[in-house]
Structure 1
Amino acid sequence: MHTNPATSRQPVGGPESYFIRSGYRSRDHVEYFLDETDDTVTWQPDVYPYTAARANELGRDVVIDIGCGRAGKLASLAGEYPAWTYIGVDFGDNLIWCRDNHPFGEWIEVDLESAERLPIEPSLVRRSIVVCSDVIEHLVNPMPALSLVRGLLLEGSAAAVLSTPARECRSGYDTPGPPRNPSHVREWASDEFQALLRASGFEIHYAGLTRSDDASNGLSTQLLLVGVGEAEGEER
C-alpha cells in the first residue's frame, strides 16, 4: 500500500462541501444500494484482512461492520476467526438478507443517515474494532455515519478502519463529478477525506491506498485507520 504523491493546485474545500474542492458536483440522491452481484470480482479485497490484523494486534475479538451490506466479506472473516463476535449494521433488504442467510452474527437495523447511536452492549464495544468499508460515498449526508463510528470509539472501541474511493486515482483531483458509479453520491480525493475526518474529530493513525478489486489490482481505494484523540479517549 502506497500513498499517492500527486496534488492539485486547487485548495481543499470547506465543511459545506464535506471538504471536496470547489466546483465538484455531488448527486442529490441515489437509489438504495442492493448488495448483490454474480461476478467473480472481489471489491476492496484487503480491507477486512487488514481489519482482522489490526484486531489481533489490539487484542480485540469483536468486529462491528457499519454498512455491512450482505456481509459477504464479514462472513469470510467469520470463517477464519469463528470464535470472534460479529455485528453487522445496515438497513432495508440487505439487512433482512443477512438475518435470513447468515447463521453467525448480530444484525442491527439502523438508517445510517439519521441514527444517533447504536444499540450495542458496552461490554462488546470495549472488545471491538470497527470497519466501514466503501459506505460513506453512498450517503447523501455522511455526517451521521461518521458520528456513529466516532461514538463507538469514544465508548471504547480500539480503532476504526475506513475505506472509500480515491478520486485522484480514478478520475483526477479536479474532476467536476458526479461519480461514474450511479450509486455514489460523491467521491473524495485522499487529502479531502482526511480533512473531513480530522474536522469530524478523528485522529488518523494510517492513511494509504489499497486495491479496489482483485482483478485489476489497481491501488485506487483509500484505506485509513483512525481513532480519537488521547484527551477524548481519557474521558471514556
Structure 2
Amino acid sequence: MHANTATSRQPIGGAESYFIRSGYRSRDRVEYFLDETDDTVTWQPDVYPYTAARAKELGRDVVIDIGCGRAGKLASLADEYPAWSCIGVDFGDNLVWCRDNHPFGEWIEVDLESAERLPIAPSLVRRSIVVCSDMIEHVVNPMPTLSLIRGLLLEGSAAAVLSTPARECRSGYDAPGPPRNPSHVREWASDEFQALLKASGFEIHYAGLTRSDDASNGLSTQLLLVGVGKAEREQR
C-alpha cells in the first residue's frame, strides 16, 4: 500500500470541520474556478459514463449536473444519448458560456453556496439522476450544495453520483492543508467525506475510487452513489 494511503491514527473530525481530521487547514476563500483548459487530459473521465450507466439501470432520462462548469463532459453525454434531457446548474462566467455555446440543455444559474432550492419542474426531477463531479471541494460551505442535492432526491430523483479528490491518495490522511490546487477550499479523505454525507442525511449505496485523469490513470478520486431512505422520500 502506498504510504499516503496508510490509515491515520487520528479520528475523523466533527461537523464543525465538515468531518475533516483535526489540524487540517482549509482556505477561507477561493477564486472563482473558470473551467477552461486547452490540454488533452480528461479529468475524472469515468464519472459521467458511470452516471449514464446508473441512469439506464434506474430508467431515468434526465441528468441534472450540479456545478457543471462549461459542461464538456455533459455535452459528450448529450451526444451519446440525444433523447435524454440535460440540465446544468452553476453560476457566473461558466454558466454564461454554456448558454452561449451549447445547443442542448437547460442552464440554471444559482449561487451554490446560498440557494435553498432549484427551479426545476417536478416532472423532470422524477425522471432524473443527479451528478456533482469534483465541485464540492471548490465551495467554502458545502452544506447548501449537499442540501440542494438531497432535496432533489427527496423530490424523486433516483440517485446522485458524487466525486471529489481522495486526500489519502494525493497527500495523505494527515496532510495539514490547504490543498495544492489553489481553487480547492479543502479535500476530504474518503472516510471523512462518507461521514459528512451520512450526517447530511444520505444513504451511501456505493463508495470507491476512480481515475483522476486519463493520462496517469491513477485512482485518486472518490466516486460515490447516494440516495435517501424510501420511507423519508414517501413522507414528502
- TM-score range for the pair, normalised by the shorter chain length: over 0.9
Query: Residue 67 and residue 119 in structure 1: after superposition, are their counterparts in 2 closer, same or farther (change >3 A)?
Result: same
Q: Residues 134-183 of structure 1, C-alpha deviation per residue, up to 9 Å, x if partnerless?
A: 00000000000000000000000000000000000000000000000000
Shift of 1:229: 1.5
- Structure 2: state its 5+ residue gaps: none
Q: Residues 175-210 of structure 1, C-alpha deviation per residue, up to 9 Å, x if partnerless?
A: 000000000000000000000000000000000000
Are 1:116 and 1:147, in contact at CA under 8 Å, matched by a contact in 2? Answer: yes
Q: Residues 66-109 of structure 1, C-alpha deviation per residue, up to 9 Å, x if partnerless?
A: 00000000000000000000000000000000000000000000
Are 1:26 and 1:186, in contact at CA under 8 Å, matched by a contact in 2? Answer: yes
Distance 2:24 2:173 in 1: 10
Shift of 1:230: 2.3
Query: Residue 105 and residue 228 in structure 1: after superposition, are their counterparts in 2 closer, same or farther (change >3 A)?
Result: same
> How large is the RMSD of aligned CA atoms in angstroms?
1.9
What secondary structure, in the 3-state scheme, does the structure 1 residue paired with 2:93 have? helix
**Among the aligned pairs, what percent are the same residue?**
92
TM (norm. structure 1) is 0.98
Query: Residue 194 and residue 60 in structure 1: after superposition, are their counterparts in 2 closer, same or farther (change >3 A)?
Result: same
Are 1:60 and 1:128, in contact at CA under 8 Å, matched by a contact in 2? Answer: yes
Are 1:159 and 1:225, in contact at CA under 8 Å, matched by a contact in 2? Answer: yes
What secondary structure, in the 3-state scheme, does the structure 1 residue paired with 2:4 have? coil
Distance 2:169 2:2 in 1: 12
Shift of 1:224: 0.1
Query: Residue 130 and residue 20 in structure 1: after superposition, are their counterparts in 2 closer, same or farther (change >3 A)?
Result: same
Shift of 1:6: 3.8
Are 2:71 and 2:88, in contact at CA under 8 Å, matched by a contact in 1? Answer: yes
TM (norm. structure 2) is 0.98
What secondary structure, in the 3-state scheme, does the structure 2 residue paired with 1:100 have? helix
- Structure 1: state its 5+ residue gaps: none
